[in-house]
């Protein structure tokens, strides 16, 4: 952690507050991958090189199915956001919040996005779903974006102790998690599929999602592979996993498939192309093993 790392400080500030009410979150998005790459894993002998990952100014928080159906906890989360000065973003009412922070004397914005895993049958009666929004019955001023592909988000989630990140923050509860590498790949495959043919600047034809897939696989440890195998074994009949397999097969089987082309087109890939190119085939094979037909 550096002195001037506002996103990191915002995360720690949030986690400190969530700890008082024991509200667990699973951190997704670019920040999650950044923490995985920088603090929680190191280079593997299979992909022996560094990869640069950057997050934008937002924190994506996945709320588990049990959390999004818990009115008391969700109201607690809303109070935490209020206390920290986050306000609802009018264009994404009640699932995106932002606040101003100072960066080298300049005013900037940090954003929090709330996403939720779909509830199971037992929890469905406790929530109100107006797609894509989901909230516990009775909650006001807060809900989350229902993310079907996050159905298995709790499988293999990894506990993060802020002290692993260079902070001296000592939490009472286990509340900060990142998704398993396998879940991250599932989310990224879906995101790639949604964006691969969109040419607007912010979709980038899915190139950054393809690069994130590459970075995640490059840093998978033996235990991440084991978690992936277990996940596949117990969830293989689930719709979200079947779709992930289909997306992998259609886009990442051969070097000339769209997913691998988008990866090679990404600016981040091009910065180290001569180092990465020899590993493309290994990447395609790893994806095939992880998402077999």
Partner 1 sequence: MPITENQIISRLGRQKGLYSPLEVLSIKETKKSEPSVKVAIAWQSRRVEFRAVVKARTAPKLVREGLIRLRSYANKKKSLLIVPYLSKAILEMLENEGVSGLDLSGNYWIRSPEIVAIRLDQKNQYRESQPIKKIFSGNSSLVGRLFLSSKRRFDSVNEVWKVIKNLGGNLSLSATSKVLSGMEEELMIEKDRKGILLLQPDKLLQRLEEDYRPPKVTETVRLKIPEGLKWFAKLSSKPWVLSGESSAECYAVTTPSEISTIYTNDFGPFETYKEERFYNIVLKKTDDSFPYFDVREKRGIRWSSPVQCYLELSRLDKREQELATSVRKAILENLK
Residues that bind partner 1 (CB under 8 A): 2, 4-8, 30-31, 34, 37-38, 43, 48-50, 52-57, 101, 103-104, 106, 108-110, 201-204, 207-208, 211, 266-268, 271, 275
Tokens representing residue 43 in the block: 């280079």
Of 1 and 88, nearer to partner 1 (C-beta) is: 1
**Adjacent-strand bridge partners of 122:** none
Of 118 and 259, nearer to partner 1 (C-beta) is: 259
Q: How many CA atoms lie within 13 A of 84 on its CB side?
A: 25
CA 112 to CA 94: how far, in whole Å? Answer: 10
Of 49 and 124, nearer to partner 1 (C-beta) is: 49
- Pick the closest to residue 263 from 222, 218, 200 (CA basis): 218
Q: How far is the CB of 199 from partner 1 (least distance, A)?
A: 12
Q: How far is the CB of 286 from partner 1 (least distance, A)?
A: 20
**Adjacent-strand bridge partners of 58:** 111
Q: How far is the CB of 147 from partner 1 (least distance, A)?
A: 19
Place of tokens 């934008």: 56
Q: How far is the CB of 240 from partner 1 (least distance, A)?
A: 23
Q: How far is the CB of 4 from partner 1 (least distance, A)?
A: 7
**DSSP per residue, 182-216:** HHHHHHHHHHHHHHTT--STTTGGGHHHHHHHHHH
Q: Which run of H or of E encompasses 47?
A: none
Of 36 and 78, nearer to partner 1 (C-beta) is: 36
Of 207 and 248, nearer to partner 1 (C-beta) is: 207
């Amino acid at each position: 952690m550096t002195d001037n790392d506002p996103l990191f400080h915002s995360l720690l500030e949030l986690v400190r507050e969530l700890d008082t009410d024991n509200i667990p979150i699973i951190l997704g998005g670019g920040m999650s991958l950044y923490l995985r790459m920088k603090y929680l894993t190191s280079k593997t002998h299979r992909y022996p090189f560094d990869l640069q990952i950057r997050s934008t100014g937002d924190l994506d928080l996945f709320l588990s199915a049990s959390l999004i159906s818990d009115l008391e906890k969700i109201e607690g989360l809303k109070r935490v956001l209020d206390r920290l000065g986050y306000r609802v973003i009018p264009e994404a009412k009640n699932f995106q919040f932002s606040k101003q922070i100072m960066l080298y004397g300049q005013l900037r914005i940090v954003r929090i996005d709330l996403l939720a895993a779909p509830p199971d049958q037992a929890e469905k009666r406790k929530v109100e779903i107006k797609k894509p929004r989901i909230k516990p019955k009775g909650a006001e001023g807060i809900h989350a974006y229902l993310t079907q592909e996050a159905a298995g988000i709790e499988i293999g989630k990894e506990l993060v102790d802020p002290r692993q990140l260079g902070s001296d923050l000592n939490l009472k509860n286990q509340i900060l998690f990142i998704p398993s590498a396998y879940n991250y790949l599932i989310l990224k495959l879906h995101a790639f599929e949604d964006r691969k043919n969109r040419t607007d600047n912010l979709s980038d034809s899915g190139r950054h999602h393809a690069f994130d897939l590459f970075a995640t696989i490059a840093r998978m440890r033996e235990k991440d592979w084991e978690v992936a195998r277990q996940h596949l074994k117990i969830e293989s009949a689930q719709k979200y996993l079947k779709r992930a397999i289909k997306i992998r097969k259609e886009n990442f089987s051969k070097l000339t498939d769209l997913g691998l082309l988008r990866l090679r087109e990404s600016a981040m890939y091009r910065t180290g192309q001569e180092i990465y190119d020899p590993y493309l085939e290994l990447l395609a094979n790893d994806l095939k093993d992880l998402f077999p037909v």
